């Protein structure tokens, strides 16, 4: 339903200055244009203009979800701990989970996600193969106690989200549901006027077999994605850095450039010096000569990872190699049990292999000669440690463990990968039986045999989409809304005169345009400068100005926000001019 408004009775408290705490354009512009107001750290209230945009995005999402036979529901934001205990996620989710108790001392959380609730619902009411496949979705406020809320609604403690869940009889059916969601997401983000990339992603706390993220490319993005932009690459490879695969550029391997011979192994006293940076300075050795030994706990036992001192471990790769669901950095006791030394002095020589589950090394370590590592003794490190002589690992356990870096090559075509910043706006997960198994979501097949339901889950950050659109679509003067999610389609700017003729013509134009378009009529008693600045700030696609040109020549001034084109025309041709510009 079209909704037009007059500014004199529409609540848009615009500001001239940027809020002090705002760091990125979307945060600044959403506050300045009167879309949001801060209530507390990471908590924002949406005002009429901002909520109109949210509802525009929501309607685009709803249309595509309904098109794939999704059914809309609403689940409770307040979730009992007992459900999270069934999935074994209450402790794993960590301090981001906002917890509370009721008057009877029962424990609850404010839902950051709804896998447990939806699985409980389906396990109660779905019991036959005839009820599957099934897709349910909702729009819901989510809550996460972010350690450092920032960037306005981009990383907030309360945010509005669409989450949907698919339920199928078998893996093949689930993959079809997954692909339907992926295709729907493509239509949604294109429909919102966004430039985005679909990338492979890690499953994280949600879990499952595999997942994809939908990233809006923007310089202010918190996430980094890697892309193969070689036009001849058939894979069109793209991934976030957590999941990224790569080929190393062989020309950068030290072994290709150095004829250094193995030197005598030396144990060196390094009192109180633990980190790579500290030891590097103490021994005057570069970080790329170091072997960093990292120890993790898993349900199957400690897992050891060896990487170069100047590289970062990709925990997702380590998890996949070890074939474990969850890993976390080991505590002091585990490190002492595995190495015989306190944290900061671990090394590959002398690891107690009978006390660990697996040990893996990054392939780059084979290139290092005369490396530096911990000596597995307090306050000591080893110099001139070499693979084969001083420590040994199964060849099959040399894998790509580090995070992708600039200069790495596409795993498919071996051309250099490109790095870009991105804002995650959507995420899809193929869950499999992760929740249905632990929470008893079963169905009975035509053969009478009970089987576990196969699940998928799919999220879109609705308020994030709004912020991401602004990050992509703005200039120094304000927002430039894509047509499909603009709060209004036309802004009618009345430049008042003493004769009242302009007010009369504006009233007529407002009435005619409102039959077809959503119009915001700036009928305030303000100067032209204030009105023009607010119009640019708010960013409505079409501005229709009724002022001196109409008095002198009987023509309206039309300005298009995106192209900055100005056209002067008679009132009777106004609709024609607007429609012609849309078709350019």
Q: What is the 3-state secondary structure (H, E, C) of 427-487?
A: EEEEEECHHHHHHCCEEECCCCCEEECEEEEEEEEHHHHHHHHHHHCEECCEECCCHHHCC
Give the distance, in angstroms, between the CA of residue 483 and the centroid of all CA atoms in the same chain: 24
Four-residue CA torsion sign, 521, 525, 528, 534? negative
Q: What is the pLDDT of residue 254?
A: 55
Residue 408 to residue 416: CA distance in whole angstroms = 6
Q: What is the pLDDT of residue 256?
A: 46
Residue 96 to residue 76: CA distance in whole angstroms = 18
Residue 73 to residue 315: CA distance in whole angstroms = 36
Q: Could you tell me the two tokens for 358? A: 């697996």
Q: What is the pLDDT of residue 569?
A: 92
- The residue whose two tokens read 């030994």 is 293
Residue 396, CA distances (Å) to 255, 349, 354, 400 in order: 20, 19, 19, 11
What is the CATH T-level fold of the domain 250-399, as seen in this structure? YbaK protein (3.90.960)
**Domain 488-582 in CATH 3.40.50.800:** yes
Q: Where are the domains of the chain?
A: 54-245+419-470, 250-399, 488-582
Please state the pTM of the whole predicted model. Answer: 0.87
Q: What is the pLDDT of residue 257?
A: 47
- Chain length of the chain: 584
Residue 474, CA distances (Å) to 30, 128, 406, 470 in order: 11, 51, 29, 6
CATH code reported for the domain at 54-245+419-470: 3.30.930.10
Q: What is the pLDDT of residue 244?
A: 86
Q: Could you tell me the two tokens for 469? A: 């659109």
Q: What is the pLDDT of residue 209?
A: 59
Question: Do 494 and 502 contact (CB within 8 A), yes or no?
Answer: yes
Residue 266 to residue 406: CA distance in whole angstroms = 34
Q: Could you tell me the two tokens for 352? A: 């107690």
Start-to-end C-alpha separation, the chain: 26
Q: What is the pLDDT along the chain (584 residues), one digit of tens a residue?
A: 679 999 999 999 999 999 998 999 999 999 999 999 999 999 999 999 999 999 999 999 999 999 999 999 999 999 999 999 999 999 888 889 999 999 999 999 999 999 999 999 999 999 999 999 999 999 999 999 998 899 999 999 999 999 999 999 999 999 999 999 999 999 999 999 999 999 887 655 544 557 889 999 888 888 889 999 998 887 888 888 888 888 888 776 654 445 788 899 999 999 989 899 999 999 999 999 999 999 999 989 999 999 999 999 999 889 889 988 778 899 999 999 999 999 999 999 988 888 888 999 999 898 889 999 999 999 999 999 999 899 989 999 999 999 998 989 998 898 999 999 999 999 999 999 999 999 999 999 999 999 999 999 999 999 999 999 999 999 999 999 999 999 999 999 999 777 788 999 999 999 999 999 999 999 999 999 999 999 999 999 999 999 988 888 889 999 999 999 999 999 999 999 999 887 65
Residue 241 to residue 221: CA distance in whole angstroms = 13
109 sits in which H/E element: strand 107-110
């Amino acid at each position: 339903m079209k909704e037009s408004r007059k500014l004199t009775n529409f609540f848009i408290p615009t500001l001239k200055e940027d809020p002090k705490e705002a760091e990125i354009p979307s945060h600044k512009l959403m506050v300045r244009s009167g879309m949001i107001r801060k209530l507390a750290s990471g908590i924002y209230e949406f005002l009429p203009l901002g909520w109109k945009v949210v509802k525009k995005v929501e309607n685009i999402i709803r249309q595509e979800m309904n098109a794939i036979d999704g059914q809309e529901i609403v689940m409770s934001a307040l979730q009992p701990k007992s459900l999270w205990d069934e999935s074994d996620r209450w402790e794993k989710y960590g301090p981001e989970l906002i917890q509370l108790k009721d008057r009877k001392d029962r424990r609850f959380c404010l839902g950051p996600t709804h896998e447990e609730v939806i699985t409980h619902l389906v396990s109660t009411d779905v019991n036959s193969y005839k009820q599957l496949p099934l897709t349910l979705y909702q729009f819901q406020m989510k809550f996460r106690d972010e350690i450092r809320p920032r960037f306005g609604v981009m990383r907030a403690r309360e945010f509005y989200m669409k989450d949907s869940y698919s339920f199928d009889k078998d893996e093949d059916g689930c993959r079809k549901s997954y692909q339907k969601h992926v295709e729907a997401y493509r239509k949604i983000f294109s429909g919102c006027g966004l430039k985005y990339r679909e990338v492979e992603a890690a499953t994280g706390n949600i879990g499952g077999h595999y997942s994809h993220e939908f990233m809006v490319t923007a310089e202010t993005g918190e996430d980094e994605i890697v892309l193969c932009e070689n036009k001849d690459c058939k894979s069109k490879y793209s991934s976030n850095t957590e999941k990224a695969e790569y080929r190393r550029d062989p020309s950068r391997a030290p072994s290709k450039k150095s004829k250094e011979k193995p030197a005598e192994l030396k144990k060196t006293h390094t009192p109180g010096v633990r980190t790579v940076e500290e030891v590097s300075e103490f021994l005057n050795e570069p970080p790329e000569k170091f072997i960093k030994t990292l120890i993790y706990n898993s349900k199957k036992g400690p897992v050891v990872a060896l990487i170069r001192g100047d590289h970062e471990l990709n925990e997702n790769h380590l998890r996949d190699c070890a074939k474990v669901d969850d890993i976390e950095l080991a505590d002091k006791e585990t490190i002492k049990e595995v190495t015989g030394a306190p944290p900061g002095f671990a090394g590959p020589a002398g690891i107690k292999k009978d006390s660990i589950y697996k040990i893996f090394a990054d392939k780059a370590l084979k290139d290092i000669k005369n490396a530096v590592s911990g000596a597995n003794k307090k306050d000591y490190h080893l110099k001139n440690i070499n693979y084969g002589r001083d420590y040994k690992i199964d060849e099959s356990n040399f894998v790509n463990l580090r995070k992708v870096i600039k200069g790495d090559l596409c795993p498919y075509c071996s051309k250099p990968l490109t790095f870009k910043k991105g804002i995650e706006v959507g995420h899809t997960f193929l869950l499999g039986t992760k929740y249905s198994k632990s929470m008893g979501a079963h169905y009975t097949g035509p053969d009478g045999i009970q089987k576990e339901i196969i699940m998928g889950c799919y999220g879109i950050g609705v308020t994030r989409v709004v912020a991401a659109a602004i990050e992509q679509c703005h200039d120094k003067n304000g927002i430039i809304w894509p047509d499909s999610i603009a709060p209004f389609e036309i802004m009618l700017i009345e430049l008042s005169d003493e004769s009242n003729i302009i007010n009369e013509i504006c009233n007529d134009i407002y009435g005619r345009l409102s039959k077809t378009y959503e119009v915001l009529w700036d009928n305030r008693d303000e100067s032209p400068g204030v009105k023009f600045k607010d119009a640019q700030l708010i960013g409505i696609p079409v501005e229709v100005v009724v002022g001196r040109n109409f008095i002198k020549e009987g023509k309206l001034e039309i300005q298009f926000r995106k192209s900055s084109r100005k056209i002067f025309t008679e009132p009777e041709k106004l609709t024609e001019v607007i429609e012609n510009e849309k078709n350019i």
